[in-house]
Amino acid sequence: MTYADLLHSRKQRDALLELVQQREDIKQKHKLGLDLLGGQGFQLVGPALNPRVKTMRADVGNLLVPEDDVQTNGSWAKHAIKSNGFVARKGESLLCDTRLMPIGEANSCYERVLSPLMRKNREFQDAALWAVLEGLGTDRNVVRPEERFDTPFKRLVRKLTLHATPKMVAEAEKMN
């Protein structure tokens, strides 16, 4: 899903908002993180800060919006196939990475190492995704900036994302 998808399609903005809200529920109920941006988020920092960069491509890395219908050749799992052999329909938002990240209490050695990194990644994604939705005009009562950007790190990411928004808009207009 690109920033152009979000900028030009109310359906895509609503889909992202719904996923971000589901992500919040998963975080609260299960102490797990859902990775919507993938590694894309941290790649925004350089172009966002570089004044020589006038446009920048921005993606919600783990969401797919097919440009055409995607049909199966029969090798897909039965639960993934929709009616008439389609896996995805044109313009539909699909979450590509459904793994949940450990961000709560660490229960294993692996989680003790991974959890602090994943928590910082989650904070970055929280702030970036809410700031993108804010920049797209999502109702202030939904974004709730006082609550969503409640740490210095999240406020920094918000500022960075809002600073990058004109560059993302310029790239989205080139793509349209």
Res 46: pLDDT: 87
pTM, full prediction? 0.82
Containing H/E element for 90?
Answer: none
Residue appearing with tokens 């109310």? 10
Distance CA 126, CA 158 (A): 9
What residues does each domain of the chain span? Answer: 3-62+97-175, 66-92
Region 63-86 average pLDDT: 68
8 Å CB contact between 122 and 100:
no
13 half-sphere exposure, CB direction, 13 A CA radius? 16
**pLDDT tens-digit series, residues 93-112:** 878 777 777 776 667 777 77
The DSSP letter of residue 85 is G
Say which range, 116-125, 141-150, 164-173, has the weakest mean pLDDT. 116-125
